[in-house]
Amino acid sequence: MIEQHATLSRQAICQLPKAELHLHIEGTLEPQLALALAERNHIALPYASLEELRKQYAFTNLQSFLDLYYQLMGTLKTSEDFRDLMIAYLEHAHDDGVRHAEIFFDPQVHVHNGLDYNMVLDGLLAGMQYGRENFGITSSLILCIVRDMPVEDAHRILDLAAPRADELCGIGLDSAEVGYPPELFDEVFARARAMGLHVVAHAGEEGPSSYVEQALNILHVERIDHGVRAIDDAQVVQQCARDRIGMTSCPLSNRRLQVVDDISKLPLRALLEAGVPVSVHSDDPAYFGGYIADNYQALANIGFSAAELAQFAQHSIETSFIDEHERQTLLKELEQWRAQYVA
Ligand code: HPA
Ligand SMILES: [Zn+2]
């Protein structure tokens, strides 16, 4: 007999209360907008049309994506550009049932493109305020260190960030992974922790489980971003479960960057069974073919149950850096969702 299972409706997926914990704001720059900004800001891009630009999205690995991502980032120039980008994202996130978002940005790249750190920050914060007032979505910023830029450059961005550290939520680590182990950034992260910032890092996306282990034990991260390769080391998995280290999985990203050739190969069920608080997110939705509800949908389509999706959402709320009152409110909403959709 063919096993029947009721797939959740799109509406149910969008109503599931969730936190977005792995989202690069620059990764929400849609190709149409990049071309429009290039024209408005007089930036020459080597693509004559949207069709030509779209052909660049057939990525073979992380670096092939990063090359385009950094190139298109060069079209962002003004405070309004950053504000508009943030508002467009938060509106989409709101439609997808995101109640709270912790959002990465890459200021080292913007400063290298000649922009002022405070101008970028002001634009993003203005967009976040708009999102709070108009969509009721709370959000905070995580400054990502670009790991394939020199360590001294990471220190320089912290120098710029320090006077307004209280306007940030955390520090992260992103960009090309292999050859740039977390231990290179031990002093940078120690400084950020001393500034009162929460600490996360991309690890185990293309790099080995030893990079996850370094992120945990040298950078003292509270969440691991991606963490796919953690599964290769039982001790790392146990440590994440024991210490409630969140793991922010991005299925559509992992497939598009060929981290796995099929979403079903991600170790999500093994991590759930081991007790790791793994959650589901969108990474760079304009590049990878979907926002957060599309990522949940992709898992529903391959047989993840309503109970499992609710577990991912619960982990996103539990491992977010929101205040306890907001956390309890969201967990109660999640219970109501379960009462309706989990048999
Ligand atoms: O998925 C990613 N990995 C590393 N760096 C990134 N910068 C944006 N997205 C990513
Ligand atoms: Zn990422």
Question: What pLDDT is attached to residue 343?
Answer: 80
% of the chain at pLDDT higher than 70: 98
Q: pLDDT tens-digit profile of 30-61?
A: 999 999 999 999 999 999 899 999 999 999 99
* Residue 1 pLDDT class (50, 70, 90 cuts): very low
Distance 248 CA to ligand 2 centre (A): 9
225 in contact with ligand 1, CB cutoff 6 A: no
Which residue do the tokens 């959740």 mark?
Answer: 8
Strand locations in 9-97 (E): 18-20
What pLDDT, on a 0 to 100 scale, did the predictor assign at position 167?
98
Q: Where does residue 197 rank: exposed (0-12), middle (13-18), buried (19+ CB within 10 A)? A: buried
ipTM summary value? 0.96
Which parts are annotated binding residues?
A: 22, 24, 202, 283-284
Looking at the CA of residue 69, tell me the nearest atom of ligand 1.
8
Mean per-residue pLDDT, 261-267: 98
Q: Which CATH superfamily is domain 10-341 in?
A: Metal-dependent hydrolases (3.20.20.140)
**Cβ(62) to ligand 1 under 6 A?**
yes
Q: Which are the contacts of 277, defined by CB distance < 8 A and separation ≥ 6?
A: 240, 244, 245, 246, 247, 315, 318, 319
Give bridge partners of residue 100 from the DSSP assignment: 19, 138
280-319 pLDDT, tens digit each: 999 999 999 999 999 999 999 999 999 999 999 999 999 9
**pLDDT at residue 4 is higher than 50:** no
Distance 175 CA to ligand 1 centre (A): 5
96 lines ligand 1 (CB under 6 A): no
Which residue out of 26, 102, 177, 205 is catalytically annotated? 205
Closest ligand to Cα 287: 1
Q: Is the separation of the CB atoms in 103 and 142 below 8 Å?
A: yes
Strand partners, 69: none
Q: What is the largest CA-CA distance in the chain?
A: 65
On whether the CB atoms of residues 315 and 272 are closer than 8 A, the answer is no
The token pair at 150 is 């020199």
pLDDT value for 92: 98
Q: What is the pLDDT of residues 119-178, one digit of tens each?
A: 999 999 999 999 999 999 999 999 999 999 999 999 999 999 999 999 999 999 999 999
Mean pLDDT of the chain: 97
Residue 153: other Cβ atoms inside 10 A: 15
**Ligand 1 atom closest to Cα of 174?**
5
Among the listed residues 136, 198, 196, 89, the one whose alpha carbon sits nearest the alpha carbon of residue 329 = 136
Angle at 337 between CA 335 and CA 338, to 5 degrees: 65
Tell me, yes or no, if 205 is annotated catalytic: yes
Edge to edge, the sheet with strand 246-249 lists: 18-20, 98-105, 138-146, 170-174, 198-203, 223-226, 246-249, 278-280
Whether 249 contacts 279, CB under 8 Å: yes
**Residue 2 in this model has a pLDDT that exceeds 60:** no
Tell me the CA–centroid distance for residue 339 and ligand 2, in Å: 32
Smallest-distance ligand from the CA of 178: 1
Q: Is the predicted pLDDT of residue 238 greater than 90, yes or no?
A: yes
Give mean pLDDT, residues 207-226: 98
CA dihedral (207, 253, 97, 314) positive or negative: negative
**Nearest-CA residue for atom 5 of ligand 1:** 175
Q: What is the distance in A from the centroid of ligand 2 to the CA of 131? A: 22
The best mutation among 21, 24, 57, 59 to test binding of ligand 1, ranked by most ligand atoms within 8 Å of the C-beta, falls on 24
Give 5's pLDDT tier (boundaries 50, 70, 90).
low
For residue 61, give the DSSP letter.
Answer: S
Predicted local distance difference test score (pLDDT) of residue 3: 46
How sure is the predictor about 184, in pLDDT bands with cuts at 50, 70 and 90?
A: very high
> Among the residues of the chain, which ranges form H helices?
10-15, 31-40, 50-54, 62-73, 79-95, 107-112, 117-135, 151-161, 186-194, 209-217, 234-242, 251-256, 268-274, 285-288, 292-301, 306-318, 324-341
Check if 205 has its Cβ closer than 6 Å to any atom of ligand 1: yes
Q: Which atom of ligand 1 is nearest to the CA of 205?
A: 3
User: Any idea which residue has 């073919």 for tokens?
Assistant: 289
- Tell me which residue has its CA closest to atom 1 in ligand 1: 283
pLDDT digit string, tens, across residues 88-120? 999 999 999 999 999 999 999 999 999 999 999
**Helix boundaries (H) for 74-115:** 79-95, 107-112
